[in-house]
Homo-oligomer: A and B are copies of this chain.
Amino acid sequence: MFVRNQWYVASWDHEIDRTPLARTICGEPVMLYRKFDRTVVALQDACPHRLLPLSMGIKEGDNVRCRYHGLLIDSEGRAIEMPVRSERPHKSICAKAYPIVERHRFVWIWIGDASLADPDRVPDFWPCSHPGWTFDGDYFHLHCDYRLVIDNLMDLSHETYTHQGSIGQREILESPIETRAENDSVTVSRWMAGVDAPPFWRNALGQEGDVDRWQICHFLPPSSVLIDVGVAPVAAGATLEKHDQGVRGFVIDAMTPENDTSTHYFWGMARNFDVLDVGFTARFKAQQASVFREDVAVLEAQQRSIARNPNLKLKAFGIDSGGVRARHVIERMIRAQQPSAANEAPDPH
Protein backbone atom coordinates (compact mmCIF):
# COMPACT_ATOMS: atom_id res chain seq x y z
CA MET A 1 0.00 0.00 0.00
CA PHE A 2 1.26 3.42 -0.95
CA VAL A 3 0.59 6.88 0.45
CA ARG A 4 -2.23 8.32 -1.64
CA ASN A 5 -3.33 11.88 -2.35
CA GLN A 6 0.24 12.85 -2.99
CA TRP A 7 2.36 14.22 -5.79
CA TYR A 8 4.94 11.75 -7.06
CA VAL A 9 7.63 12.34 -9.67
CA ALA A 10 6.37 10.61 -12.83
CA SER A 11 9.34 11.53 -15.01
CA TRP A 12 12.04 14.01 -15.82
CA ASP A 13 10.72 16.89 -17.89
CA HIS A 14 12.84 15.79 -20.85
CA GLU A 15 11.48 12.23 -20.85
CA ILE A 16 8.03 13.31 -22.08
CA ASP A 17 7.30 14.36 -25.62
CA ARG A 18 4.37 13.92 -28.00
CA THR A 19 4.82 10.13 -28.22
CA PRO A 20 3.20 8.46 -25.22
CA LEU A 21 5.46 7.09 -22.48
CA ALA A 22 4.09 4.13 -20.49
CA ARG A 23 5.00 4.01 -16.80
CA THR A 24 3.40 2.33 -13.81
CA ILE A 25 3.14 4.61 -10.77
CA CYS A 26 2.12 3.21 -7.37
CA GLY A 27 0.80 0.14 -9.17
CA GLU A 28 -1.29 2.18 -11.65
CA PRO A 29 -0.39 1.87 -15.36
CA VAL A 30 -0.25 5.38 -16.77
CA MET A 31 0.75 6.88 -20.09
CA LEU A 32 2.13 10.39 -20.43
CA TYR A 33 2.55 12.70 -23.40
CA ARG A 34 2.85 16.37 -24.19
CA LYS A 35 0.17 18.36 -25.99
CA PHE A 36 1.02 20.94 -28.66
CA ASP A 37 0.97 23.58 -25.93
CA ARG A 38 3.67 21.47 -24.18
CA THR A 39 1.60 20.74 -21.13
CA VAL A 40 1.77 17.11 -20.02
CA VAL A 41 -1.20 14.74 -20.11
CA ALA A 42 -1.40 11.60 -17.95
CA LEU A 43 -4.13 9.03 -18.59
CA GLN A 44 -4.75 5.48 -17.47
CA ASP A 45 -2.81 3.31 -19.92
CA ALA A 46 -5.80 1.20 -20.88
CA CYS A 47 -8.51 2.03 -23.36
CA PRO A 48 -11.85 2.26 -21.54
CA HIS A 49 -13.30 -0.03 -24.21
CA ARG A 50 -11.24 -3.27 -24.24
CA LEU A 51 -8.22 -2.19 -22.14
CA LEU A 52 -5.61 -2.21 -24.89
CA PRO A 53 -2.80 0.09 -23.66
CA LEU A 54 -3.50 3.58 -24.98
CA SER A 55 0.27 4.03 -25.23
CA MET A 56 0.06 1.71 -28.28
CA GLY A 57 -2.45 4.09 -29.85
CA ILE A 58 -2.30 6.50 -32.76
CA LYS A 59 -1.79 10.15 -31.85
CA GLU A 60 -4.22 12.51 -33.62
CA GLY A 61 -3.30 16.03 -32.58
CA ASP A 62 -3.62 16.13 -28.80
CA ASN A 63 -5.92 13.12 -28.80
CA VAL A 64 -5.06 9.45 -28.93
CA ARG A 65 -6.94 6.86 -30.95
CA CYS A 66 -6.92 3.29 -29.66
CA ARG A 67 -5.06 0.90 -31.93
CA TYR A 68 -7.73 -1.77 -31.49
CA HIS A 69 -11.16 -0.36 -32.41
CA GLY A 70 -10.31 3.28 -32.85
CA LEU A 71 -12.04 4.83 -29.84
CA LEU A 72 -10.78 8.43 -29.81
CA ILE A 73 -9.78 9.78 -26.39
CA ASP A 74 -9.07 13.43 -25.77
CA SER A 75 -6.40 14.80 -23.49
CA GLU A 76 -8.82 14.86 -20.56
CA GLY A 77 -9.56 11.17 -21.00
CA ARG A 78 -13.01 11.62 -22.54
CA ALA A 79 -14.12 9.43 -25.43
CA ILE A 80 -14.92 11.85 -28.23
CA GLU A 81 -15.45 9.46 -31.12
CA MET A 82 -16.84 5.94 -31.11
CA PRO A 83 -15.54 3.16 -33.39
CA VAL A 84 -18.73 3.63 -35.37
CA ARG A 85 -18.55 7.37 -35.92
CA SER A 86 -22.27 7.90 -36.08
CA GLU A 87 -22.63 6.75 -32.48
CA ARG A 88 -22.33 9.30 -29.70
CA PRO A 89 -19.91 8.42 -26.91
CA HIS A 90 -21.52 8.22 -23.50
CA LYS A 91 -19.75 10.33 -20.92
CA SER A 92 -19.14 7.25 -18.78
CA ILE A 93 -16.67 6.08 -21.42
CA CYS A 94 -13.48 7.69 -20.23
CA ALA A 95 -9.90 7.00 -19.27
CA LYS A 96 -8.94 8.21 -15.81
CA ALA A 97 -6.98 11.45 -16.12
CA TYR A 98 -4.30 12.25 -13.56
CA PRO A 99 -3.54 15.77 -12.36
CA ILE A 100 -0.10 16.84 -13.48
CA VAL A 101 2.19 19.65 -12.42
CA GLU A 102 5.51 20.33 -14.09
CA ARG A 103 7.93 21.88 -11.65
CA HIS A 104 11.60 21.78 -10.63
CA ARG A 105 12.57 19.88 -13.83
CA PHE A 106 10.18 17.04 -12.98
CA VAL A 107 6.70 16.01 -14.10
CA TRP A 108 4.64 15.38 -10.95
CA ILE A 109 1.59 13.17 -10.96
CA TRP A 110 -1.18 13.15 -8.35
CA ILE A 111 -1.98 9.64 -7.14
CA GLY A 112 -5.31 9.51 -5.34
CA ASP A 113 -8.50 11.54 -5.50
CA ALA A 114 -8.05 14.00 -8.36
CA SER A 115 -10.42 16.51 -6.76
CA LEU A 116 -7.95 16.96 -3.90
CA ALA A 117 -4.93 17.72 -6.11
CA ASP A 118 -3.35 20.96 -4.93
CA PRO A 119 -0.28 22.21 -6.82
CA ASP A 120 0.87 23.97 -3.64
CA ARG A 121 1.52 20.55 -2.13
CA VAL A 122 4.24 19.60 -4.67
CA PRO A 123 7.33 18.86 -2.55
CA ASP A 124 9.64 21.84 -2.42
CA PHE A 125 12.59 20.89 -4.63
CA TRP A 126 13.61 24.57 -4.81
CA PRO A 127 17.32 23.98 -5.55
CA CYS A 128 16.30 22.32 -8.82
CA SER A 129 14.86 25.53 -10.21
CA HIS A 130 16.26 28.37 -8.16
CA PRO A 131 17.95 31.31 -9.89
CA GLY A 132 21.70 31.02 -9.48
CA TRP A 133 21.52 27.25 -9.22
CA THR A 134 21.95 24.53 -11.80
CA PHE A 135 20.58 20.99 -11.75
CA ASP A 136 20.98 17.75 -13.69
CA GLY A 137 20.67 14.04 -13.07
CA ASP A 138 19.29 10.77 -14.38
CA TYR A 139 16.88 7.86 -13.86
CA PHE A 140 17.39 4.30 -12.59
CA HIS A 141 14.83 1.52 -12.43
CA LEU A 142 15.32 -0.38 -9.17
CA HIS A 143 14.09 -3.83 -8.17
CA CYS A 144 13.43 -2.94 -4.56
CA ASP A 145 10.92 -1.35 -2.22
CA TYR A 146 11.24 2.45 -2.38
CA ARG A 147 11.53 2.57 1.41
CA LEU A 148 14.85 0.76 1.28
CA VAL A 149 16.18 3.67 -0.79
CA ILE A 150 14.89 6.15 1.77
CA ASP A 151 16.65 4.20 4.54
CA ASN A 152 19.82 4.31 2.47
CA LEU A 153 19.74 8.06 1.88
CA MET A 154 18.76 9.07 5.40
CA ASP A 155 21.92 7.43 6.70
CA LEU A 156 25.10 8.45 4.92
CA SER A 157 27.21 6.26 7.18
CA HIS A 158 26.78 3.52 4.60
CA GLU A 159 29.15 5.44 2.35
CA THR A 160 32.09 4.10 4.31
CA TYR A 161 31.52 0.51 3.21
CA THR A 162 29.12 0.49 0.28
CA HIS A 163 31.22 3.14 -1.43
CA GLN A 164 34.58 1.95 -0.16
CA GLY A 165 36.95 2.80 -2.98
CA SER A 166 34.80 5.61 -4.34
CA ILE A 167 33.48 8.23 -1.91
CA GLY A 168 33.53 6.30 1.36
CA GLN A 169 35.49 7.63 4.29
CA ARG A 170 35.65 6.65 7.93
CA GLU A 171 35.29 10.26 9.17
CA ILE A 172 31.63 10.44 8.27
CA LEU A 173 30.88 7.66 10.74
CA GLU A 174 32.68 9.53 13.48
CA SER A 175 30.75 12.78 13.35
CA PRO A 176 27.64 12.77 15.52
CA ILE A 177 24.27 13.21 13.88
CA GLU A 178 21.10 14.83 15.05
CA THR A 179 17.70 13.61 13.96
CA ARG A 180 14.59 15.74 14.07
CA ALA A 181 11.06 14.90 13.00
CA GLU A 182 8.65 17.78 12.59
CA ASN A 183 5.15 17.23 11.34
CA ASP A 184 5.72 15.10 8.28
CA SER A 185 9.33 15.89 7.52
CA VAL A 186 12.43 14.31 9.00
CA THR A 187 15.89 15.83 9.09
CA VAL A 188 19.21 14.18 9.89
CA SER A 189 21.97 16.76 10.38
CA ARG A 190 25.69 16.36 10.63
CA TRP A 191 27.40 19.71 11.35
CA MET A 192 31.19 19.74 11.27
CA ALA A 193 32.33 23.07 12.70
CA GLY A 194 35.75 24.53 11.94
CA VAL A 195 37.19 21.64 9.97
CA ASP A 196 39.58 21.42 7.07
CA ALA A 197 37.63 21.28 3.82
CA PRO A 198 38.10 18.14 1.71
CA PRO A 199 39.62 18.80 -1.74
CA PHE A 200 36.32 18.78 -3.62
CA TRP A 201 34.83 21.50 -1.43
CA ARG A 202 38.12 23.39 -1.11
CA ASN A 203 38.20 23.68 -4.90
CA ALA A 204 34.58 24.70 -5.05
CA LEU A 205 35.02 27.33 -2.34
CA GLY A 206 38.18 28.71 -3.91
CA GLN A 207 39.73 30.06 -0.73
CA GLU A 208 41.92 28.92 2.18
CA GLY A 209 41.04 28.48 5.82
CA ASP A 210 38.89 26.36 8.09
CA VAL A 211 35.29 25.84 7.16
CA ASP A 212 32.00 24.76 8.60
CA ARG A 213 30.78 21.73 6.74
CA TRP A 214 27.32 20.17 6.69
CA GLN A 215 25.35 17.17 5.46
CA ILE A 216 21.64 17.61 6.11
CA CYS A 217 19.29 14.90 4.87
CA HIS A 218 15.66 15.99 4.47
CA PHE A 219 12.96 13.41 4.01
CA LEU A 220 10.01 14.98 2.22
CA PRO A 221 6.92 12.79 2.13
CA PRO A 222 5.83 10.72 0.48
CA SER A 223 9.12 9.51 -0.95
CA SER A 224 11.86 12.07 -1.56
CA VAL A 225 15.14 12.84 0.10
CA LEU A 226 17.06 16.09 -0.46
CA ILE A 227 20.56 16.23 0.99
CA ASP A 228 21.94 19.68 1.65
CA VAL A 229 25.74 19.54 1.46
CA GLY A 230 28.48 22.19 1.41
CA VAL A 231 31.01 24.28 3.25
CA ALA A 232 31.33 27.93 4.31
CA PRO A 233 34.31 29.83 5.76
CA VAL A 234 34.15 29.80 9.53
CA ALA A 235 34.11 33.56 9.56
CA ALA A 236 30.89 33.61 7.56
CA GLY A 237 28.98 32.34 10.57
CA ALA A 238 26.91 29.68 8.88
CA THR A 239 24.33 27.88 11.02
CA LEU A 240 22.16 24.83 10.68
CA GLU A 241 19.28 27.17 9.93
CA LYS A 242 21.10 29.48 7.48
CA HIS A 243 24.16 28.32 5.61
CA ASP A 244 24.21 29.81 2.15
CA GLN A 245 27.34 31.81 2.75
CA GLY A 246 29.71 29.40 1.01
CA VAL A 247 29.29 26.75 -1.69
CA ARG A 248 26.35 24.48 -1.51
CA GLY A 249 24.74 21.59 -3.30
CA PHE A 250 21.73 19.37 -2.96
CA VAL A 251 21.72 15.68 -3.73
CA ILE A 252 18.22 15.21 -5.15
CA ASP A 253 16.48 11.86 -4.78
CA ALA A 254 12.88 11.12 -5.73
CA MET A 255 11.82 7.50 -5.29
CA THR A 256 8.49 6.81 -6.91
CA PRO A 257 7.04 3.36 -6.22
CA GLU A 258 6.34 1.38 -9.36
CA ASN A 259 5.06 -1.64 -7.46
CA ASP A 260 5.71 -3.19 -4.05
CA THR A 261 9.26 -4.17 -4.89
CA SER A 262 10.21 -1.89 -7.75
CA THR A 263 10.97 1.79 -7.83
CA HIS A 264 11.50 4.63 -10.28
CA TYR A 265 14.57 6.42 -8.97
CA PHE A 266 15.10 9.99 -10.17
CA TRP A 267 18.34 11.43 -8.88
CA GLY A 268 20.71 14.32 -9.52
CA MET A 269 22.74 17.15 -8.07
CA ALA A 270 21.79 20.83 -7.78
CA ARG A 271 24.50 23.35 -6.92
CA ASN A 272 25.08 27.06 -6.58
CA PHE A 273 28.72 27.15 -7.76
CA ASP A 274 30.29 26.94 -11.20
CA VAL A 275 26.75 26.87 -12.51
CA LEU A 276 27.74 27.53 -16.12
CA ASP A 277 30.38 24.81 -16.22
CA VAL A 278 28.51 22.15 -18.18
CA GLY A 279 31.60 19.95 -18.29
CA PHE A 280 31.57 19.84 -14.49
CA THR A 281 27.87 19.02 -14.56
CA ALA A 282 28.41 16.12 -16.95
CA ARG A 283 31.39 14.75 -15.06
CA PHE A 284 29.60 15.00 -11.76
CA LYS A 285 26.54 13.17 -13.14
CA ALA A 286 28.75 10.35 -14.41
CA GLN A 287 30.47 10.05 -11.02
CA GLN A 288 27.16 10.14 -9.17
CA ALA A 289 25.78 7.40 -11.46
CA SER A 290 28.80 5.27 -10.69
CA VAL A 291 28.36 5.71 -6.93
CA PHE A 292 24.60 5.14 -7.11
CA ARG A 293 25.16 1.92 -9.02
CA GLU A 294 27.00 0.66 -5.94
CA ASP A 295 23.84 1.46 -3.98
CA VAL A 296 21.69 -0.34 -6.54
CA ALA A 297 23.72 -3.52 -6.10
CA VAL A 298 23.27 -3.32 -2.33
CA LEU A 299 19.59 -2.36 -2.40
CA GLU A 300 18.55 -5.08 -4.84
CA ALA A 301 20.56 -7.72 -2.93
CA GLN A 302 18.92 -6.51 0.27
CA GLN A 303 15.47 -6.83 -1.30
CA ARG A 304 16.18 -10.40 -2.44
CA SER A 305 17.56 -11.28 0.98
CA ILE A 306 14.43 -9.93 2.69
CA ALA A 307 12.31 -12.15 0.43
CA ARG A 308 14.47 -15.19 1.10
CA ASN A 309 14.55 -14.72 4.87
CA PRO A 310 10.92 -14.23 5.88
CA ASN A 311 11.74 -15.01 9.52
CA LEU A 312 14.39 -12.31 9.88
CA LYS A 313 13.47 -8.72 10.67
CA LEU A 314 15.32 -5.49 9.87
CA LYS A 315 17.00 -4.09 12.99
CA ALA A 316 17.49 -0.39 13.63
CA PHE A 317 20.65 1.04 15.16
CA GLY A 318 21.27 4.66 16.09
CA ILE A 319 22.47 5.46 12.58
CA ASP A 320 19.09 4.38 11.23
CA SER A 321 17.06 6.93 13.18
CA GLY A 322 16.38 9.04 10.08
CA GLY A 323 15.05 6.14 8.05
CA VAL A 324 13.06 4.80 10.98
CA ARG A 325 11.33 8.13 11.46
CA ALA A 326 10.68 8.54 7.75
CA ARG A 327 9.02 5.13 7.77
CA HIS A 328 6.92 6.21 10.75
CA VAL A 329 5.69 9.19 8.75
CA ILE A 330 4.81 6.92 5.82
CA GLU A 331 3.03 4.43 8.09
CA ARG A 332 1.07 7.20 9.82
CA MET A 333 -0.04 8.61 6.46
CA ILE A 334 -1.13 5.18 5.25
CA ARG A 335 -3.04 4.51 8.46
CA ALA A 336 -4.74 7.89 8.16
CA GLN A 337 -6.03 7.09 4.70
CA GLN A 338 -7.57 3.80 5.74
CA PRO A 339 -11.25 3.53 6.55
CA SER A 340 -11.77 3.78 10.29
CA ALA A 341 -14.08 0.77 10.57
CA ALA A 342 -12.14 -1.81 12.58
CA ASN A 343 -13.61 -4.71 10.67
CA GLU A 344 -12.53 -3.38 7.30
CA ALA A 345 -10.79 -5.97 5.10
CA PRO A 346 -7.00 -5.42 5.10
CA ASP A 347 -5.53 -3.78 2.05
CA PRO A 348 -3.85 -6.37 -0.20
CA HIS A 349 -0.58 -4.42 -0.46
Cα distance A302–B45 when bound, in Å?
A: 11
Interface residues of A in 305-349 (CB under 8 A from B): 305-306, 308-309, 312, 314-315, 317-320
Cα distance A305–B58 when bound, in Å?
A: 17
Cα distance A66–B51 when bound, in Å?
A: 46
- From A80-88, A192-200, A223-231, A264-272, the one touching the partner chain is A80-88
Q: Which residues of B contact A52 (CB under 8 A)?
A: 298, 301-302, 305
CB nearest to A304 among chain B residues:
B53
Cα distance A320–B69 when bound, in Å?
A: 10
Q: Is the CB of A317 within 8 A of B29?
A: no
Cα distance A69–B319 when bound, in Å?
A: 9
Q: Is the CB of A69 within 8 A of B309?
A: no
Size bracket, chain A contacts: 35 or more
Q: Is the CB of B309 within 8 A of A46?
A: yes
Min distance, Cβ A217 to any Cβ of chain B, angstroms: 15
Q: Which residues of B contact A85 (CB under 8 A)?
A: 173-174
Q: Beyond A24-B308, A50-B320, A83-B319: 14 further Cβ-contacts under 8 Å?
A: A44-B312, A45-B305, A46-B308, A49-B314, A51-B306, A52-B302, A66-B161, A68-B162, A69-B157, A70-B157, A83-B317, A84-B174, A85-B173, A93-B315
17 residue pairs of the A-B complex, CB under 8 angstroms, read A29-B305, A44-B309, A44-B312, A46-B308, A50-B151, A51-B309, A53-B305, A56-B301, A58-B164, A68-B158, A68-B298, A69-B158, A69-B160, A69-B319, A83-B173, A84-B319, A87-B317
Q: Which residues of A contact B (CB under 8 A)?
A: 24, 29, 44-46, 48-53, 56, 58, 65-70, 82-85, 87, 93, 151, 155, 157-158, 160-162, 164, 173-174, 298, 301-302, 305-306, 308-309, 312, 314-315, 317-320
